[in-house]
C-alpha cells in the first residue's frame, strides 16, 4: 500500500511522538511550514550525516540551526559571486590580450596542457579527456542558452563564433574551473601573477587557482540551490594538505581544514584582499559573520555550538581580522 502523506498537524505529532522533540502551537506550526519538514527540519537535526545527531529536544533548537544556516547563505553568497565575476574577467583579459576571442583559437593556443605530457601516457589521456569534455560542455552551454540569450543568437545568426567573454556568462563555476585546468602552465602562472596569488615555491604549475575555484564552487552551488551549508556537508571533494598549508602560509591563519564554514570565509577573504577589495568592505563581511555566529551561540546549547563551529571559532575570526 502506498503511504499517505501527513498533514502539518500530523507531522508535528510525529515529531513529538517519534523524535521526542517538543513542538506546539500556531507559531511553530507556521515555522515548520516555512522551513519544510523534509528539506528543512530533518536536515537540521544532525551534523553532516544522519548518524551524527544533535542532542536537542525542542523545535526551537532546530529552528535556531536553520536560521543560522539561512543567515550564512545570505551573507556569503554575494561575496562568492563577486569573486567568480572578477576571476572570469581577469581570465578574459589574459586570454584575449592578443586578440583571440574565438574558442577554436583559445583551445589551440591556451587550452593545451595535454601537450606538457608524453603522448599516450596516463596523464596525457586524462588531460585530453578533460579538454574534450570541456569542448562538449561549452557547446552544450551555447545550445542550452540559444533560445533565451540574445547575445548567443546574435553570433549564431551571423555565423560567427561565440566569443569567450559571452561564453563566460553562460558557463558554470565548475566549467570555469575545468577551463583553468585545461590551460597550459605558462598561461595559468601568468593569470595567477595578474590576480596576485602567484607562488613560485608552493605552486609551480599554477594549480592553486583552479583548486580554490572548485572549493568555492561547492559552496556557491549549495547556496544557489538552497542546500545546507552550516556544517559543510556540501563538500564532496578531497582537499589536499598542500592547499590548506599554502593558505596558512599566505594568511597566517591556523587549523584550516574546510570542515568549518569559517574556513570558507578565510578563502573568500583571501581572494577579496588579493583582488583589491577595500578593507572596509572586507571587515563588514567579517563583522556580519561574527554577528551571525554570536546570535547562534546565544540561542544554542554549548554542545551543539561547539560541535558545529569548534571551540576555536572566535580565535580564527580574530586571526582573519589580523590578516586584513
Could you give the angle at the alpha carbon of 94 between the alpha carbons of 147 and 129, nearest 5°? 65
CA 51 to chain centre: 25
Q: Supply 188's cell numbers.
A: 595559468
Could you give the angle at the alpha carbon of 180 between the alpha carbons of 202 and 147, nearest 5°? 160
Dihedral angle of Cα 94, 97, 102, 108, to the nearest 10 degrees: -70
Q: Are 226 and 220 in contact (CB under 8 A)?
A: no
Q: Are 141 and 175 in contact (CB under 8 A)?
A: yes
Q: Which residues in the chain show pLDDT less than 70? A: 1-4, 98
252 Rama sector, left if φ>0, alpha if ψ -120 to 50, beta otherwise:
left
pLDDT of residue 193: 95
Q: How far apart are CA 271 and CA 117, in angstroms?
A: 31
Dihedral angle of Cα 306, 62, 68, 305, to the nearest 10 degrees: -10
The phi and psi torsions of 53 (rounded to 5 degrees) equal -75, 155
Which positions ≥6 away from 91 have C-beta within 8 Å? 168, 176, 179, 180, 191
For the whole model, what pTM was predicted?
0.93
First to last CA, the chain: 61
Helical pair 279-298 and 59-95, crossing angle rounded to 10 deg: 160
**DSSP E strand stretches across the chain:** none
Locus of grid cell 561547492:
218
Dihedral sign, Cα of residue 19, residue 20, residue 26, residue 30: negative
pLDDT of residue 39: 80
Which positions ≥6 away from 130 have C-beta within 8 Å? 178, 181, 182
DSSP three-state, residue 237: coil
Which positions ≥6 away from 128 have C-beta within 8 Å? 114
Q: Are 248 and 256 in contact (CB under 8 A)?
A: yes
Dihedral angle of Cα 77, 56, 299, 305, to the nearest 10 degrees: -60
Q: Are 323 and 253 in contact (CB under 8 A)?
A: yes
pLDDT of residue 40: 84
Query: pLDDT digit string (tens) for 274-302?
Result: 999 999 999 999 999 999 999 999 999 99
pLDDT of residue 264: 98
Amino acid at each position: 500500500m502506498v503511504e499517505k502523506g501527513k498533514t502539518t498537524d500530523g507531522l508535528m505529532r510525529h515529531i513529538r511522538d517519534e523524535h521526542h522533540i517538543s513542538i506546539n502551537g500556531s507559531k511553530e506550526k507556521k515555522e515548520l511550514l516555512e522551513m519544510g519538514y523534509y528539506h528543512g527540519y530533518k536536515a537540521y537535526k544532525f551534523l553532516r550525516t544522519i548518524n551524527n545527531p544533535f542532542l536537542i529536544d525542542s523545535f526551537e533548537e532546530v529552528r535556531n540551526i536553520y536560521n543560522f544556516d539561512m543567515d550564512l547563505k545570505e551573507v556569503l553568497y554575494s561575496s562568492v559571486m563577486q569573486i567568480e565575476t572578477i576571476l572570469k574577467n581577469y581570465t578574459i583579459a589574459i586570454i584575449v590580450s592578443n586578440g583571440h576571442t574565438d574558442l577554436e583559437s583559445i583551445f589551440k593556443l591556451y587550452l593545451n596542457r595535454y601537450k606538457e605530457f608524453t603522448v599516450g601516457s596516463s596523464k596525457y589521456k586524462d588531460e585530453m579527456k578533460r579538454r574534450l569534455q570541456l569542448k562538449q560542455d561549452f557547446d552544450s552551454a551555447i545550445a542550452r542558452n540559444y533560445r533565451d540569450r540574445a547575445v548567443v543568437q546574435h553570433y549564431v545568426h551571423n555565423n560567427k563564433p561565440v566569443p569567450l567573454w559571452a561564453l563566460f556568462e553562460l558557463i558554470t563555476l565548475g566549467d570555469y574551473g575545468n577551463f583553468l585546468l585545461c590551460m597550459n602552465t605558462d598561461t595559468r602562472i601568468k593569470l595567477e601573477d595578474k590576480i596576485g596569488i602567484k607562488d613560485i615555491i608552493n605552486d609551480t604549475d599554477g594549480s592553486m587557482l583552479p583548486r580554490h575555484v572548485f572549493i568555492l564552487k561547492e559552496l556557491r552551488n549549495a547556496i544557489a540551490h538552497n542546500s545546507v551549508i552550516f556544517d559543510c556537508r556540501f563538500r564532496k571533494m578531497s582537499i589536499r594538505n598542500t592547499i590548506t598549508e599554502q593558505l596558512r602560509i599566505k594568511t597566517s591563519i591556523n587549523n584550516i581544514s574546510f570542515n568549518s564554514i569559517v574556513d570558507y570565509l578565510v578563502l573568500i577573504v583571501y581572494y577579496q584582499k588579493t583582488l583589491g577589495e577595500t578593507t572596509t568592505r572586507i571587515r563588514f563581511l567579517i563583522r556580519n559573520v561574527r554577528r551571525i555566529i554570536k546570535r547562534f551561540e546565544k540561542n544554542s546549547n554549548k554542545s551543539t555550538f561547539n560541535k558545529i563551529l569548534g571551540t576555536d571559532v572566535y580565535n580564527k575570526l580574530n586571526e582573519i581580522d589580523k590578516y586584513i
